[in-house]
Structure 1
């Protein structure tokens, strides 16, 4: 099979934590501010660049920043960073202050709601004692400001990104950083609204569940606004019970499939096989999911259902440490940034270890790789042991300081009831086989879920199970639901690109070369009698168009 041949192409490299893309300081040219200048794509580049292009009135933004900081003028404006969702600028004023201004791209979702929610969320987090930069000025209505764009002006995060310090830190300092993160997570666990959605100020949304100055309004997370979903009439909350929220997810996917899903007759290696791209099969599977959904919500455990705001993207670039404290052997977290798209959900769906603590690599090398990898197995084992120990530290510290959150991380049926939720909202983009896999597991473990007194409302015939086993093998889905994703990671690592084919300017030519080399290796394994052009359509990174 196609997937199996790809495993022979090379080693599966360790997953990398990828920080937000940064750009070198450029002289002031408005076009450099508007355009994406921080990298290239080896595939579909023009579309990627257009999605990240955002014009605005830079002079008007400077005036807003100067007024917010009590200065007279901005001496310098530089693009600090940019990603898919924002352009981030640092502005230096005549009074010596440096402030951050963020402009969202179209990929961030509905600018008005996303901006208003992020500002309110940051304010609420600050009220809990979380170190979050203070917002000094903002506008969520692009049509009402001379800046001609939504914007947020905030203090520059004090300290240094954890990612710049981590490799130089001692093991004890890293452990203390983990403990400090748990302390901050404990603050966020303060009892919240009895609703699910996103945080806004009162008055910024038409309706919602009120809590002091704040209100829970519609969910601004990307799955509810991505691509055509932005224009669809769907339920985005707020919701007052978990079943309504979870049904909104499957309903959203069902409606999108019926209105927009089209089958690709020549799927790439990163896409499901053609026979899985069948609308009615997806609708039928989502209907089965909805039938079992009321029975996989932990309704008897109020802790797991409590409304919880959470920062789900705590990677190295979003955590800042005091360098002065670090020099004295102490750890002080000075800022947690990037609260965009944060939302309030049931605790059991929020709980996860921070992204800066990756799980040890659990995928063993294939027999063909063992000999060539023998030389660095000891180093890999030591690295994995350190990661495992730090994960254990995170869990033991959480159990002591934040027991409710630890309960949500470790309750016995966690994987069985959370995994189907994760795939129910994206069956068309690779989630069909994993969702079917989890539903079969639910059927087979029905008694374990505590439902011995009535039968499971869904079933899978023997022929369905056999067909699923074949699909799972081809799509490389195992019990851990990770292997199919690792195929994409492996190819990206071999080429030297990130998701979507992104690569730095410096690495662009090398990535093009490696892509061609890997594509040729793929072509050499083409089955006899197969049409070359048709076979190559499966390769995910074709020439830039």
Structure 2
């Protein structure tokens, strides 16, 4: 059956936008080869009373392509196809399906029913030819469509409703960190049973796997490392791009030495009773914002569906502590309501949030040192060592404070690092892009030209600045190019 629907949609290619950084690579990583007609047939087969597809919309997020099918019966069905950067093949889809089924079995959280799925693109029974999940459309309307029109008291009641719903997943208990799977699907992979056919298995977060476009993994130091010390496998044996990197980035040897020191610090800190308590294995929604929450069209204080459980995993409680949902940042009343609801309904989450953030910083960022530069993690280590006694940590800090000379050099590098972060933020604001430089397709040419002009203007300002003092981190063209976050056209 040739539906003819896919011709206008371009179902395989990414068409929603382009990137100012690694544009071709980003687009290629979101190309999906599959049989769109077979997907259409399967949607109709799963919809009793329907004979054809009346319309289809394509939506594209950071990790998935979504098709919303409207059938001749009036029913809407959703198909989600993951990009390769969403996580490890097979495991990502397996875990999402199992997580949804587990929550539906153990809680009353409203989640759309999964009608069909496949985690294996090579399975001969999978005529669609890629990983997919087909599900019911979420009931209600997206909260983000209602939020701005809601009165203050409605927003307060809605936030309370969201956290009363969330409390059910926070109350679940788990024996380990990782992702939820069906017992029957992991074969010989190490796992811990949750009972009723479910288990905890490998963490399938993209940060632990070779999923990001252009980011490679190396196992000359940490073979097969997909755990808390995964930062070691991001460091290459040699750095062929060292001449183009900013001075704060650091050599491979510097990164490895730093990460090995950090390992000792993390082990000693993990023994602290406060950190142990804040490290309770906990399941929470990874992206609990208004775009993923659906509410009743008649009463927006009633939560009718929560969607997008793809990256849901069992993490230490403190991992979620610094997350601030968008509905909590609207105004002071919403922020206060969020804080109170979190404190009284999900104390496991609010407890770490109320603690000194310096207790958790080394745990959060050590996995991404090669991406950020050695200076960022080194700064966290220096601050941890400096505050060790004030934080109430027992014994001497395994990471010794650097000498005054080394501290002075570090401060110089860290000023440049901060300038680089501020530059990325400012450019994103000026160009109206994401921090990765994503631009809607309709705005591409205009944004690309504006980006070129911004670089020219800033380069002229840097080169012509004859009064730059020693504290000025960006003094020449080479440094500006090294910290510029987006690709520069020659």
Equivalents in 1 of 2:343, 2:266: separation in Å?
A: 29
* Matching of residue 50 in structure 1 with residue 24 in structure 2: no
Residue 202 of structure 2 is matched in structure 1 by 218
Residue 147 of structure 1 is matched in structure 2 by 128
Q: CA RMSD in A?
A: 2.6
Change (3 A) 1:338 1:277: same
Aligned-residue offset at 1:390: 2.1
Change (3 A) 1:522 1:135: same
Residue 138 of structure 1 is matched in structure 2 by 117
Higher relative contact order (CA 8 A, sep 6+): 1
**SS, match of residue 450 in structure 1:** coil
Instruction: Tell me the alpha carbon deviations over residues 74-109 of structure 1, each in whole angstroms, 9 at most, x when there is no partner.
Output: 313523311232110012234332110011111112
Equivalents in 1 of 2:40, 2:478: separation in Å?
A: 52
Equivalents in 1 of 2:73, 2:79: separation in Å?
A: 17
Residue 172 of structure 2 is matched in structure 1 by 191
Q: Which ranges of 4 or more aligned residues in structure 1 deviate by more than 6 Å? A: 529-534
Q: What is the 5 A alignment of 1:97-496? A: 97-127=75-105, 128-144=107-123, 145-206=126-187, 207-212=190-195, 213-225=197-209, 226-227=211-212, 233-236=223-226, 248-250=227-229, 252-259=230-237, 261-267=239-245, 273-274=246-247, 276-297=249-270, 299-301=272-274, 303-326=277-300, 331-357=301-327, 387-411=331-355, 413=356, 415-452=357-394, 454-460=395-401, 461-476=403-418, 485-496=421-432
Equivalents in 2 of 1:352, 1:190: separation in Å?
A: 19
Residue 448 of structure 2 is matched in structure 1 by 512
* Matching of residue 68 in structure 1 with residue 10 in structure 2: no
Equivalents in 2 of 1:485, 1:543: separation in Å?
A: 17
Equivalents in 2 of 1:171, 1:111: separation in Å?
A: 44
Q: Is the 8 A contact 1:424 1:431 kept in 2?
A: no
Equivalents in 2 of 1:475, 1:275: separation in Å?
A: 7
Aligned-residue offset at 1:400: 2.1
If the length of structure 2 is used for normalisation, what is the TM-score?
Answer: 0.87
Q: How many residue pairs end up in the alignment?
A: 464
Residue 470 of structure 2 is matched in structure 1 by none
Q: Is the 8 A contact 1:193 1:209 kept in 2?
A: no
Structure 2 alignment gaps of length 5 or more? 467-474
**SS, match of residue 34 in structure 1:** coil
Structure 1 alignment gaps of length 5 or more? 1-25, 237-247, 268-272, 360-385, 477-482
Q: What is the 5 A alignment of 1:18-37? A: 28-29=6-7, 32-37=10-15
Residue 381 of structure 1 is matched in structure 2 by none
Q: Is the 8 A contact 1:162 1:319 kept in 2?
A: yes
Equivalents in 2 of 1:400, 1:538: separation in Å?
A: 44
Aligned-residue offset at 1:122: 1.3
Q: Is the 8 A contact 2:328 2:338 kept in 1?
A: no
Aligned-residue offset at 1:61: 1.3
Instruction: Tell me the alpha carbon deviations over residues 216-251 of structure 1, each in whole angstroms, 9 at most, x when there is no partner.
Output: 000011101134557865243xxxxxxxxxxx332x
Equivalents in 2 of 1:535, 1:210: separation in Å?
A: 53
Equivalents in 2 of 1:342, 1:60: separation in Å?
A: 29
Q: Is the 8 A contact 1:63 1:73 kept in 2?
A: no
Residue 433 of structure 2 is matched in structure 1 by 497
